[in-house]
Chain A
Amino acid sequence: MIQNFNISSKLKEILESVMDPEIPVLNVVDLGVIRNVQVNGKEITIKLTPTYSGCPAMDVIGDDLERAFEKEGYSAHIQLIMSPPWTTDWITDRGRKALEDYGIAAPLDETADKDVLLNEKKLVKCTNCGSTNTKLVSQFGSTACKAMFQCEDCHEPFDYFKCLK
Chain B
Amino acid sequence: MKQINNPTSTSISGSTSSPIRELNPQFLESKENKQHLIDYLLGVADNYLILGQRLGELCGHGPNLEPDIAITNISLDLLGQVRSYYQYIAQIKGDKTTEDDIAFLRTEREYKNVLLVEQPNTDFAYIIVRQYFFDVYNRLFLNALQQSGDETLRALAFKGIKEASYHERFSGDWLKRLGDGTEESKVKTQEAVNNLWIFTEELFHKTEADQSMIEVGVAIDMTQFKELYYEKIKEQLTIAAIEIPEVEYFQKGGKQGIHSEHMGFLLSEMQYMQRTYPDSRW
Contacts and interface: CB of A to CB of B under 8 A. Distances in A.
Is B a genuine binding partner of A?
yes
Interface of A: 47-48, 50, 52-56, 59, 62, 78-85, 117-118, 137-144, 148, 164-165
A118 B170 CA distance: 10
B81 A53 contact: yes
A16 B234 CA distance: 50
B155 interface: yes
Contacts of B154: 83
A86 B185 CA distance: 38
Q: Which of A50, A81, A85, A138 has the most CB of B within 10 A?
A: A85
Interface in B143-162: 151-152, 154-156, 158-160, 162
B107 interface: no
Contact of A142 (B69, B84, B169): B69
Q: Which 7 A-B pairs have the closest CB atoms?
A: A54-B80, A53-B80, A83-B7, A83-B155, A54-B76, A140-B70, A138-B66
Given A82-B84, A144-B73, A62 B170 contact: no
The binding surface of chain B is classed by DSSP as helix
A83 B66 contact: no
B79 interface: yes
B3 interface: yes
B228 interface: no
B80 A82 contact: no
Contact of B11 (A83, A118, A139, A144): A83
Given A138-B69, A139-B70, 10 more contacts: A52-B76, A53-B81, A53-B84, A54-B80, A83-B154, A85-B159, A138-B70, A140-B73, A143-B73, A144-B73
A52 B80 contact: yes
18 contacts: A48-B2, A52-B163, A53-B81, A53-B83, A53-B84, A54-B81, A55-B80, A79-B2, A80-B3, A80-B5, A82-B7, A82-B155, A83-B12, A85-B158, A138-B69, A138-B70, A140-B66, A143-B73
